[in-house]
Chains A and B, each alone.
Chain A
Amino acid sequence: MRPFLILLLVVIGLWVVWPDNPGFHLGPFDRSIEVVRGLDLQGGLRVLLEADLPEGEEIAPEQMQSARDIIENRVNALGVTEPVVQVAGARRILVELPGIQDPEQAVSTIRETALLEFVDFSQVSPLELPALMAAPILTDYGLPVEAEEPAATEALATPAPRVYPTVLTGADLESAQAVGPDQLGNYGVSIKFTEAGAALFANYTSAHVGDILAIVLDKRIISSPSISEPITEGEGQITGTFTIEEANQLAVQLRYGALPVPLKIAESKAVGPTLGEDSLQKSLRAGIIGLVMVIAFMILYYRLPGVIASAALLIYALLTFSLFKLIPITLTLPGVAGFILSLGMAVDANVLIFERLREEMREGRNLRQATDLGFNRAWPSIRDSNLSTLITCFILFWFGSTFGASIVQGFALTLGIGVLVSMFTAIVVTRTLLHLVLDRIVSAEHPAFFGVQVSR
């Protein structure tokens, strides 16, 4: 029974590893099977954002979650395939953008603050306001400047959507903070302009006393006060019917963008595609060379069992790699190193078994007995030593997850999976193959097959 099970696993493994694997496309199971390469192997950008708040300050998990969602939206706009945006620990967000070409632009997109505009509404009557408040408006900020040809545009049947002139943007803002309450219990936000902003604002307000000036955040009107007097001091207040929370939030948005938590970049790592490809090729080559050397050693030293162990090792590599593809595990450079190290540990299980087998044969037991005894006696040390490695992997994984160190996590994960699969191949595959071959050798008359000299 077992040989067929192993054969079945090998066939499935080969199918999964096959480079042109079409993937599952059956009803609900619709997914492709591909190797997911980490940033260090394909190039890309990794940014760790951190809440820009004092150490002790509590941050609600929901706030971090919604900040994550907003960043994910911004990142999606970059058109990156398979971006990773996740909350790491209590106050950090990890962003990974594989294969990105222009890291500078990506960073500025991620930390982009909300666009605040002061828009000239002098052509708008107070009656129109409620309708305008309901939907995003168009402003001329960021639009290409076009030569005006009034005659031509008026001839068009459908009127072009109205575009309002922007007076100032958030870039002209130096600071913003919540103030209040006033006599009615309403809070506001006081704003302070930069020098250049203050001059522009003074000019504009002097010329437009009595007109409406809309305050627009990300193209949505948040407030539409009318100018009661020229503001020349470079300071102003956004008033409205804000509660203290709303006023605080608005102030934060004006300073940091439309995120519920202010974020700063704690770490950013960009790997060029050249280095990634280079590393991948080299690690793959190293892995194959290592595998060949280990197989040569096993066969030279352990003879027949060495051949069987090598077959088991190849099956091990096949199964582990298909698991990486199926789960899928993101392969990073340390992950590949972990995989290659686990090859060594997979060999260890076989070495333990064969050393035991040779010992039993030297004591004059026949082949079948020696095989069974060898397995049974080697099992406790395989089990206990691998369990301790798994404990370490578990702690490493946790260590990595608390601060978004995906390299450490990748290593722990591949090593852990490797250790589990190696226990399976040593106990099930090696044993079955050994029995399969041994049952066809008439007796133990060929000790040389095992590299053993039996003296009776």
Chain B
Amino acid sequence: MIDIVGRRYLYFAISALIILPGLLALAIWGPPAAAIDFTGGNLLELRFDSARRPAPASVVTLAEEAGIREPLVQTAGESDLVIRSKPIEADQKARLLASLEAEAGGPVTILRDEHVGPSIGAEVAQRAVGAVALAVLGILGFITYAFRGVPHAVRYGVAAILAMLHDVLVVISVQVLLGRFLSWEIDALFLTALMTVIGFSVHDTIVVFDRIRENQRVHRRLRYDTLVNHSIVQTLGRSINTQLTVMLTLLALLLFGGSTTQHFVTILLIGVLSGTYSSIFNAAPILVVWENREWRTWFRRKRAPA
């Protein structure tokens, strides 16, 4: 039988290998840029159908000439442009559009025009933190209740939350990198994706824990770490297959779903992958670490046990 629990510190190390660089990057580069959903500002997405799309640099100049502050211009797809800036007035927008049409030599279609005041953003961020905290409490309470027949039920809740935090950290680490290299910003959809990852992660963990719960009733004599390992291996097929089917649907969305949801789906993919990893390699092994109270020996030896 595959021994997952025995190599638990190796798997913890793999998790750390992904999370720590992300956190380091976060410390050095600061938090990834937030979209206008949170900072307030303006977003214009334009399509140049028949016309020649102007270069971003010249669009920046035109925008500044129209009196628009801090314009950021990106190309999207074949014929689209995204212009982010501080809030703009209707007449500034009209001036920009006119000069763009002159520059491009043809009509410009407005695909999206978003304006967000600064007061909303701060509140959304606050509420999001509140919602996550509430979700953590709700899930902790629910698992402790659902596992009430098992000794130390609260450990299952805490382990599930730790695995979930792992996934949140992985997602944030990846976002830091995406933000740095692809200038993907944190928007309301990112928050939605993050919360879905939280839900999925716990969903996955509970399936493994359910098997431990069941096996504990049947095999009372088994050592706890053997029992946990058994349970992980028994649910491995299911974990991988469910992961595969969810990945298939998400991949379909990523490849064929259009640009609006690309960022959202990428975050979901990474989070779901991490969620499956953490429920197999982190959540259940944490239970063993707790059962053995292994932290008592962590700092006695100079070398971490592998």
Contacts and interface: CB of A to CB of B under 8 A. Distances in A.
A274 interface: yes
A272 B199 contact: no
Contacts of A283: 253, 257-258, 261
Contact of A270 (B112, B120, B200, B214): B112
Contact of B113 (A269, A338, A389): A269
Interface residues of A, number: 69
B110 interface: yes
Given A345-B203, A392-B195, A392-B198, A351 B112 contact: no
B153 interface: no
Interface stretch (B8-16, B24-32, B67-75, B233-241): B233-241
A141 interface: no
A293 interface: yes
Contacts of A407: 188-189, 192
Contacts of B189: 334, 407
B238 A351 contact: yes
Interface stretch (B50-58, B139-147, B177-185, B285-293): B139-147
Contacts of A264: 117
B186 interface: no
A380 B257 contact: no
Interface stretch (B121-129, B165-173, B220-228, B294-302): B121-129
Contact of A396 (B110, B192, B237): B192
Contacts of B241: 301, 351, 355
B98 interface: no
A380 B245 contact: no
A270 B110 contact: yes
A285 B258 CA distance: 10
B249 A341 contact: yes
Interface residues of B, number: 69
Given A380-B214, A398-B131, A389 B203 contact: yes
Q: What's the dominant secondary structure at chain B's contact region?
A: helix
Interface string A389-425: 1011101101100110101100100010000000000
B209 to A, nearest CB: 8
A50 interface: yes
Contact of B115 (A265, A343, A345, A398): A265
A40 B113 CA distance: 12
A289 interface: yes
Contacts of A270: 110, 112-114
Interface of A: 40, 48, 50, 103-104, 264-272, 274-275, 278-279, 282-283, 285-287, 289-291, 293-294, 297-298, 301, 333-334, 337-338, 340-341, 343-345, 347-348, 351-352, 355, 359, 377, 380-381, 384-389, 391-393, 395-396, 398-399, 402-403, 405, 407-408, 411, 415
29 contacts: A50-B120, A265-B115, A266-B117, A267-B114, A268-B113, A268-B114, A269-B113, A270-B110, A272-B109, A282-B257, A283-B258, A285-B256, A290-B249, A337-B253, A337-B268, A340-B249, A341-B246, A344-B245, A355-B237, A355-B241, A384-B210, A385-B207, A392-B202, A396-B131, A398-B131, A399-B195, A403-B123, A407-B188, A415-B196
